[in-house]
């Protein structure tokens, strides 16, 4: 079945600034820092976009900003027109979230039935007398049994809880789902079950999915496009197979080479790029290109002043990808 591609989400110039942490002494605060800085992003219906980054890269903050869980300081977030107003409730109607820890995201003293009925009731998604039937349908759709509605979260394993969280997210049929590290707390054998479930739901409902993860391999399997974040900025966006084969940003290249590969055979062919040092703190984001302090290409090119002085924009390349590096061509040839 062919669908017309229409944008479900448009983010333009989005910035999120957090107040600085308490810095010793009363009322003293460190300078505010930018968790997100000028993010542009579009997502069309039925598309899965993977958001990759290490701790502190801002990937979770971006997800939260889109659902309205953190205040933004600049830029716009446009969700597709349609049912629901512009307020929090209207937004929740269009975009729902699945969180990382299924042990913390379900109410321990509500039965699964109550948990799933809540969004249906609040958003008046189905008539009151049809709620029970809808809950049973949802449970079956995510691979559980209707009678599970009477049980509490404690009766379920991590994988089953994540299924319940997914059922809750799709209950009111949002046009978009944000899944923030939904499988990183799960074992490999169960992880694949949940990934396939998310993929099936995206296809059959033609939902957009923003899949936030630190695991490139998982994202590679699930998403059509991948965006890579570093220190609150997007440094590269490209179709998944292009980005993983021919990265156009040195950070992406380093991430790819750091992925531990299962078969020793092809790992030995590649020479891993081991980045020096830690990710800089948000309080001291390096000048120019924020990645230059750890960049292997910067070192290889004899530390060009350009990288220290100017911030490379997220530029469009002819093959449909975007990257924020002055020397994108030299990344792949390295």
Partner 1 sequence: MRLLEVNDLTVTLNVGERSATIVDRLSLTLDRGRCLGLVGESGSGKSTAAMAVIGLLGHGSLSARGSVRFQGAELVNAHAKTLRALQGREIAMIFQDPMSALNPVQCIGDQIVECVRAHETLSKNKAQALALEALKRVGMPDPPAMMRRYPHQLSGGQRQRVMIAMAIVFKPKLLIADEPTTALDLTIQAQILALLKQLSRDLDMAVLLITHDLGVISDMADDIVVLYAGRPVERGRTADVLDHPGHPYTRGLLAAHPSIDDTTERLTPIAGMPPPLWDRPPGCAFAPRCNHVQPTCTQRVPDPVALDTPDHLATCILAGNTETMAAVR
Q: Which residues bind partner 1 (CB under 8 A)?
A: 54-55, 157, 159, 187-193, 195-196, 199, 214-218, 220-221, 241, 244, 254-267, 272, 274-275, 277-279, 294
Min. distance of Cβ 145 from partner 1 in angstroms?
Answer: 14
Crossing angle, helix 131-141 and helix 112-122, to 10 degrees?
A: 120
Nearer to partner 1 among residue 123 and residue 294 (C-beta) = 294
Nearer to partner 1 among residue 77 and residue 180 (C-beta) = 180
Nearer to partner 1 among residue 52 and residue 136 (C-beta) = 52
Min. distance of Cβ 250 from partner 1 in angstroms?
Answer: 12
Nearer to partner 1 among residue 156 and residue 326 (C-beta) = 156
Instruction: List the strands of the sheet with 74-79, edge to edge.
Output: 33-44, 7-18, 74-79
Min. distance of Cβ 169 from partner 1 in angstroms?
Answer: 20
Min. distance of Cβ 73 from partner 1 in angstroms?
Answer: 26
Min. distance of Cβ 196 from partner 1 in angstroms?
Answer: 6
Min. distance of Cβ 138 from partner 1 in angstroms?
Answer: 20
Nearer to partner 1 among residue 126 and residue 234 (C-beta) = 234
Nearer to partner 1 among residue 75 and residue 239 (C-beta) = 239
Min. distance of Cβ 34 from partner 1 in angstroms?
Answer: 20
Nearer to partner 1 among residue 25 and residue 277 (C-beta) = 277
Min. distance of Cβ 262 from partner 1 in angstroms?
Answer: 5
3-state secondary structure the chain: CCCCCCEEEEEEEEEEEECCCECCCCCCECCCEEEEEEEEEEEECCCEEEEECCCCCCHHHHHHHHHCCCCCCEEEEEECCCCCCCCHHHHHHHEEEECCCCCCCCCCCCCHHHHHHHHHHHCCCCCHHHHHHHHHHHHHHCCCCHHHHHCCHHHCCHHHHHHHHHHHHHCCCCCEEEEECCCCCCCHHHHHHHHHHHHHHHHHHCCEEEEEECCHHHHHHHCCEEEEEECCEEEEEEEHHHHHHCCCCHHHHHHHHHCCCCCHHHHHHCCCCCCCCCCCCHHHCCCCCCCHHHCHHHHHCCCCHHHHHCCCCCEECCCCCEECCCCHHHHHHC
Nearer to partner 1 among residue 131 and residue 237 (C-beta) = 237
């Amino acid at each position: 079945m062919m669908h017309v591609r229409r944008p479900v989400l448009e983010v333009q110039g989005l910035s999120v600034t957090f107040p600085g942490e308490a810095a010793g002494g009363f009322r003293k605060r460190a300078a505010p820092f930018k968790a997100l800085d000028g993010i542009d992003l579009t997502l069309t219906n039925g598309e899965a976009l993977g958001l990759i980054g290490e701790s502190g890269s801002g990937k979770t903050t971006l997800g939260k900003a889109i659902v309205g869980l953190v205040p933004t300081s600049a830029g716009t977030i446009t969700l597709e027109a349609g049912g629901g107003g512009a307020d929090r409730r209207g937004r929740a109607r269009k975009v729902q979230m699945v969180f990382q820890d299924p042990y913390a995201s379900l109410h321990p003293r509500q039965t699964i039935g109550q948990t799933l009925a809540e969004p249906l009731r609040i958003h008046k998604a189905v008539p009151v007398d049809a709620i029970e039937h809808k809950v049973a349908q949802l449970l079956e759709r995510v691979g559980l049994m209707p009678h599970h509605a009477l049980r509490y979260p404690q009766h379920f394993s991590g994988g089953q809880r994540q299924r319940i969280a997914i059922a809750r997210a799709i209950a009111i049929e949002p046009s978009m789902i944000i899944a923030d590290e939904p499988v990183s707390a799960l074992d490999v054998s169960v992880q694949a079950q949940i990934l396939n479930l998310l993929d099936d739901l995206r296809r059959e409902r033609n939902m957009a999915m923003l899949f936030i993860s630190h695991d490139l391999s998982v994202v590679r399997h699930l998403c059509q496009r991948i965006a890579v974040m570093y220190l609150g900025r997007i440094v590269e966006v490209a179709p998944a197979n292009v980005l993983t084969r021919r990265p156009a940003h040195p950070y992406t290249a380093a991430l790819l080479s750091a992925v531990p590969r299962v078969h020793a055979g092809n790992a030995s062919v590649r020479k891993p790029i081991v980045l020096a040092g830690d990710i800089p703190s948000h309080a001291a984001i390096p000048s120019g290109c924020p990645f230059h302090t750890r960049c292997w290409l910067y070192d290889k090119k004899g530390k060009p002043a350009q990288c220290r002085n100017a911030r490379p924009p997220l530029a469009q390349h002819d093959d449909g990808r975007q990257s924020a590096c002055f020397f994108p061509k030299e990344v792949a040839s390295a």
